[in-house]
A and B are shown apart, each in its own frame.
Chain A
Amino acid sequence: MLVDLAGGWNPMLGRLAWSQIPYDNPILAPLFVAVVIGTIIILGLITYYGKWTYLWKEWLTTVDHKKLGVMYIILGLVMLFRGFIDGLMIRTQQAWAVGTHSSGVFGATHGYLTPFHFGQVYSAHGLIMILLAATPLLVGFMNIIVPIQIGARDMAYPYLNALGLWITAAAGALIMISLFVGDFAHNGWFGYAPIFELQYSPGVGVDYWIWTMELVALGTTLGGINILATIIKMRAPGMSWGRLPIFVWASLSANVIALTSFPALQVALGLVAADRYLGAHFFTAGLGGNLMLYTNLFWIWGHPEVYFVILPAFGMMSEIFPTFSEKPLFGYITMVLASLAIAGVSWLVWLHHFFTMGAGPYVNSAFSVATMLVGIPTGVKVFNWAFTMYRGRLTFNAAMLWAIGALFLLLIGGLTGMMLAVPAINYMVHNSVFVVAHFHSMLLVIVYAIFASVIYWFPKVFGFKLDEFWAKTMFWLFSAGTTLVFVPMYMLGFMGMTRRLDYVFNTAWHPYLLVMEFGIVVYMISVLAFFALLYVSIRDHAKNRVGADAWGTSRSLEWLTHSPVPFYNFAVLPHISARDEVAWRRDNGIDHVQPDHYEDIHMPNNTGVAIILGGLTFVLGFALVWRIWWLCILSLLAIMALVIYRSFKGDPGYIITAAELEEMEKDAMCREAQIGKQHYRVGGGVLGDAIAYERSDLPPLASQPGSSVGLGHRS
């Protein structure tokens, strides 16, 4: 047991007991039933259609960077939805529990959530949105796009890539299970010392918070290493640094941040765990602890993290503006320098998250100036996008609209960020909903960029475009929601409303809170529009099929290969001659030139090890949360045994012969020629006629690889 715990503990189940399952909670119990029914239906459908083998072979065990990316994005979207529901719950509580006369239900004196539950909801909301929605969504896009943009067949370490996904998924599962078994932390997504210490948070909530974050940190670090190594080592011939697509530069800068900053998070939370599990005194108020140390360590990671998520979003915008302005990005070199500068400076500003902690004026001034320095490269980016449009030929389709929305949100977020960077202003609005509005403006830049990218890159991955009408409808609804929620929020910030109030003492704020509640409803409708978008697009996919260059004006390398991208990306690796290779080939009329002969290529094999390791990390996390020591040891041993097993087994990979390749390429070109004419069926994907060959469509291995070449693969 190691430390004294309030409540029981036994060697078999640790702290786990029936009473930890909130079956009597009027919100969670029905939700739990719904989840169970939903799961049964989904599993039933998979069984009914006999898709288990397909799912296992093509998705769950895959090491294909595109499929892993798609799964990252699906995970991100699911978590985005969960986070959104949390947001809805927060807004509803605050719109309801206003003033002494407001009613209360479900054991709350005001509103429907007790303070403790309210704390859990907003803590989960913040953690989920930043670490389990935004991060996986962006990692997913980097996963799909970066290798194709640099002309590689896969990531540098395909197996590690799968591992990263499944560890992140384990983190998602851990935070989801906290809904139904035990509870979650109430100390905010970033945690305050010493409220997360055992004396003030005796339950398991904080432990869920710790281990969820630790798992995401691990998964993201692994993913970051992979993307960096891929960019540095796997560029196609001719892809010099000066020809690198701008999204790749953005991913590079972002992952440099990830690689160097996540360890700080791991340590910060590891030390919290030491306090809670071993009775250490890192962050306690007494006995020699230092609680300000926690805040520093956390934000040393926390601030770089926010740039880790915004930089890829900037990269996405930098890809989309030129395509729909039909001209190259303005100031490529400037853009690259700005990204690197942002990554560099992001390390030197963490203290702006706690100017009010009482550091002296010299320290505060220094961090204030450093923070404002970030505004320079950020401003440069905005100007460069503007001048990309200048003298262009702009098409305002849905992807472009989302990107422009992101640009305007960035202006607002930047303005308010520059306000917060001045201590004299910060003292007034720190910990107020003004800060909440600031970072939602910024995080919405990411959400907008992500939806722009979903629309923009969807045809590349699936071979058909999303429906324009519904994509635009969703955009306008979402933007209406954004306005209705965040304009009042800024106003409330100026009224002095502080954040995280589960009971709102000032009735003058009520009208604004009601408008925000209405805004959330509008957001809800836009979510429905998103479902409609998916439904209509899949229904009409035959109509919306596209060829390699889906938009006709695209510029970077990913548009050179077929849509959907075959599992080997490029039958023959392209030789790069220009910065915007596809635009260059198109302009010179050589974009349809195909390679004249093929050679054998070597590809990595699928593996079930990654997903099993993911499952085991989940078990380990769960066992740690509930302090079931035997299970901790067992799962740890199992993880080690599996890693060693895999290392002995290795992966010889397999060979696609030149003949097979030629066959598949012919099919793909034939299919492209048929676009708009009739259905042409190849392969056996979910969408049948739209999906290219999958790995299992290959004939049983015709040829065995000659030598063992480890994780790498050659052309």
Chain B
Amino acid sequence: MQVKWRNNLKNGWRYAALAPILLLNGCAGNPYWIFNPKGLMADTDLFYLILDVVIMGSIVGLTALLVIWFMWRYQKGKNRGKYDPTWSHSNTIEVFVWGIPIIAVGFLSWFAVKGTFEINPYNPTVITNHMKPNGDPVEVDVIATDWQWLFVYPQYHMAVANELVLPTHTPVFFRLTSTAVTTTFFIPQLVGMIDVMPGMRTKNALESNNMGEYQGIASDYAGAGTSWMTFKTKMLSSADFGQWVQKVQQSPTSMTYTSFNHYAEPYINVHHKVAYFSSVQNGLFDHVIDEVMNGKTWSIPPMMTENMVAYMQKQDAEHRD
């Protein structure tokens, strides 16, 4: 019942309210990732966005019209409206002046709190309340380095760098940390942002029923390589996902605590390199957090990007392939 009401609101208002913007893009596909969610979390976010814009937008819009009307009506010399040089107070208007914002804010607050719990990254009720009783969630440990993403699949004892592949119709739970500096994990069409911080663990979750490929971004400035610290997220059917897992597990390379130390050195991923690791030493995620808490840093060379072209040549020469 509630869901239906929501869908109506969403579909109705989405296109009505945003028609002018959507028109601008015509048929070039929809570049508005935020208006075009493909996962439960992003979907919920859009619902609140539309709700907020409708409520606040109508107040703001009416106020704008009111101001424009006053500007037209009371322009000096036009004699359209009555000039009352002493009028500066009215209890009735004061009641509205305070009342309208109070009611609007009260109403929005209620929804804001509700929404916060629905998409709470640690326990998003939009996902957990509808979790299929026997559909096993997928777990992914995300480790951000300077400037790459490592996705560890503890259930499959494997890891993938700079590419995230997930099955549809399955809840996915993330644990996230970082080796060097703080950044933010963000897949606009699937799930909102969560910070990843060195020496700490945050969580997030997503679920999507739409197969496809979605852009993932490091959305907080983390130093020179941030702009290239992107990754593709592929949502596959369960069968395809199973095949993909097998493919990764056949990769010749593996990830140990020692090889991770090398992997985590600063690296700007300009060529969008993806790497598969068929096996991962157990507990890598917790190990990284421990190491960082013990003071391990992966510092960057001073002024490494003074001359980016030269640095890239150096990086290509020094680093793996």
Q: Do chains A and B touch in the complex (CB under 8 A)?
A: yes
Let me know if B63 and A498 touch, CB within 8 A: no
Identify which of residues 53-98 in chain B touch chain A, using a CB-to-CB cut-off of 8 Å: 53, 56-57, 59-60, 63-64, 66-67, 70-71, 74-76, 81-90, 93-94, 96-98
Of A230-238, A263-271, A356-364, A694-702, which stretch is located at the interface?
A: A356-364
Let me know if B63 and A365 touch, CB within 8 A: no
A116 touches which of B122, B270, B305 (Cβ 8 Å): B305
For B49, give the chain A residue with the smallest CB separation.
A425
Cβ of B154 within 8 Å of any chain A Cβ, yes or no, is no
Cβ of B115 within 8 Å of any chain A Cβ, yes or no, is yes
Query: In whole angstroms, how far apart are the Cα atoms of A475 and B86 in the complex?
Result: 31
Let me know if A203 and B303 touch, CB within 8 A: yes
For A196, give the chain B residue with the smallest CB separation.
B181
Let me know if A379 and B101 touch, CB within 8 A: yes
User: A386 and B87 in contact (CB under 8 A), knowing A380-B101, A495-B33, A500-B226?
Assistant: no
- Residues of chain A within 8 A (CB-CB) of B120 are 360-361, 364
Query: In whole angstroms, how far apart are the Cα atoms of A425 and B116 in the complex?
Result: 9
- Residues of chain A within 8 A (CB-CB) of B85 are 326-327, 393
Mostly helix, strand, loop or mixed at chain B's interface?
mixed
A498 touches which of B60, B71, B186 (Cβ 8 Å): B186
Let me know if A331 and B88 touch, CB within 8 A: yes
- Produce 1/0 per residue, A82-125, CB < 8 A to B: 00000000000000000000001001110000111001000000
B105 to chain A, nearest CB (A): 5
Let me know if B181 and A194 touch, CB within 8 A: yes
Of A408-416, A533-541, A591-599, A679-687, which stretch is located at the interface?
A: A408-416
Of A36-44, A429-437, A450-458, which stretch is located at the interface?
A: A429-437
Let me know if B97 and A494 touch, CB within 8 A: no
Cβ of A368 within 8 Å of any chain B Cβ, yes or no, is yes
A411 to chain B, nearest CB (A): 5
For A425, give the chain B residue with the smallest CB separation.
B49
B216 to chain A, nearest CB (A): 10
Let me know if B74 and A285 touch, CB within 8 A: no
Let me know if B76 and A375 touch, CB within 8 A: no
- Residues of chain B within 8 A (CB-CB) of A643 are none
Cβ of B312 within 8 Å of any chain A Cβ, yes or no, is yes
- Residues of chain A within 8 A (CB-CB) of B188 are 428, 496
Query: In whole angstroms, how far apart are the Cα atoms of A502 and B292 in the complex?
Result: 28
Measuring CB to CB, which residues of chain B are less than 8 angstroms from any residue of chain A?
21, 24, 28, 31-35, 42, 44-46, 48-49, 52-53, 56-57, 59-60, 63-64, 66-67, 70-71, 74-76, 81-90, 93-94, 96-98, 100-102, 104-105, 108-109, 111-113, 115-122, 180-182, 184, 186, 188-189, 191-195, 197-200, 202-203, 215, 217, 219-228, 230, 270, 292-297, 299-300, 302-310, 312
User: A496 and B220 in contact (CB under 8 A), knowing A194-B182, A364-B116, A368-B112?
Assistant: no
Query: In whole angstroms, how far apart are the Cα atoms of A660 and B198 in the complex?
Result: 70
A363 to chain B, nearest CB (A): 9
A311 to chain B, nearest CB (A): 18
Let me know if A107 and B308 touch, CB within 8 A: yes
User: A285 and B192 in contact (CB under 8 A), knowing A192-B181, A192-B221?
Assistant: no
Cβ of A29 within 8 Å of any chain B Cβ, yes or no, is no
Let me know if A494 and B35 touch, CB within 8 A: yes
A390 touches which of B70, B221, B224, B225 (Cβ 8 Å): B70
Let me know if B220 and A192 touch, CB within 8 A: yes
Query: In whole angstroms, how far apart are the Cα atoms of A194 and B198 in the complex?
Result: 8
14 A-B residue pairs with Cβ-Cβ distance under 8 Å, sorted by A, are A114-B305, A285-B198, A286-B295, A326-B76, A331-B93, A334-B97, A379-B104, A384-B97, A422-B111, A423-B116, A424-B44, A427-B194, A431-B220, A495-B34
A286 touches which of B21, B86, B117, B297 (Cβ 8 Å): B297
Let me know if B75 and A394 touch, CB within 8 A: yes
User: A427 and B105 in contact (CB under 8 A), knowing A203-B303, A332-B88, A393-B76?
Assistant: no
Let me know if B45 and A200 touch, CB within 8 A: no
Identify which of residues 352-379 in chain A touch chain B, using a CB-to-CB cut-off of 8 Å: 354, 356-358, 360-361, 364-365, 368-369, 372-373, 375-376, 378-379
- Residues of chain B within 8 A (CB-CB) of A115 are 223-227, 305, 308
Of A140-148, A503-511, A707-715, which stretch is located at the interface?
A: A503-511
In the complex, besides A365-B112, A431-B184, A502-B226, 13 extra interface pairs with C-beta distance below 8 angstroms are: A108-B309, A115-B227, A119-B224, A194-B198, A285-B197, A285-B199, A357-B195, A365-B116, A415-B53, A424-B112, A428-B192, A496-B188, A503-B228
Identify which of residues 300-356 in chain A touch chain B, using a CB-to-CB cut-off of 8 Å: 325-332, 334, 354, 356
For A328, give the chain B residue with the smallest CB separation.
B88
Let me know if B308 and A109 touch, CB within 8 A: yes
User: A423 and B115 in contact (CB under 8 A), knowing A104-B308, A356-B184, A376-B102?
Assistant: yes
- Residues of chain A within 8 A (CB-CB) of B115 are 422-425
Let me know if A376 and B186 touch, CB within 8 A: no
Cβ of A501 within 8 Å of any chain B Cβ, yes or no, is yes
Query: In whole angstroms, how far apart are the Cα atoms of A491 and B31 in the complex?
Result: 10
Query: In whole angstroms, how far apart are the Cα atoms of A315 and B123 in the complex?
Result: 44
Let me know if A391 and B84 touch, CB within 8 A: yes
A60 to chain B, nearest CB (A): 38
Cβ of A50 within 8 Å of any chain B Cβ, yes or no, is no
Cβ of A407 within 8 Å of any chain B Cβ, yes or no, is yes
B144 to chain A, nearest CB (A): 12
Cβ of A11 within 8 Å of any chain B Cβ, yes or no, is no
Query: In whole angstroms, how far apart are the Cα atoms of A326 and B75 in the complex?
Result: 11
- Residues of chain A within 8 A (CB-CB) of B215 are 496, 506
B142 to chain A, nearest CB (A): 13
- Residues of chain B within 8 A (CB-CB) of A431 are 184, 186, 193, 219-220
Interface centre among B70, B100, B300 (most CB of A within 10 A): B70
User: A425 and B199 in contact (CB under 8 A), knowing A430-B193, A496-B215?
Assistant: no
User: A496 and B217 in contact (CB under 8 A), knowing A286-B294, A365-B112, A411-B60?
Assistant: yes
Query: In whole angstroms, how far apart are the Cα atoms of A341 and B22 in the complex?
Result: 39
Cβ of A21 within 8 Å of any chain B Cβ, yes or no, is no
User: A383 and B97 in contact (CB under 8 A), knowing A104-B309, A394-B74, A394-B76?
Assistant: yes
- Residues of chain A within 8 A (CB-CB) of B33 are 494-496
- Residues of chain A within 8 A (CB-CB) of B202 are 357-358
B112 touches which of A391, A404, A421, A505 (Cβ 8 Å): A421
User: A428 and B197 in contact (CB under 8 A), knowing A331-B89, A422-B112?
Assistant: no
A295 to chain B, nearest CB (A): 9
Let me know if B199 and A286 touch, CB within 8 A: yes
User: A369 and B221 in contact (CB under 8 A), knowing A331-B94, A389-B71, A430-B193?
Assistant: no
Cβ of A202 within 8 Å of any chain B Cβ, yes or no, is yes
Query: In whole angstroms, how far apart are the Cα atoms of A7 and B299 in the complex?
Result: 14
Query: In whole angstroms, how far apart are the Cα atoms of A392 and B76 in the complex?
Result: 8
Let me know if A391 and B219 touch, CB within 8 A: no
Cβ of A590 within 8 Å of any chain B Cβ, yes or no, is no
Let me know if B112 and A386 touch, CB within 8 A: no
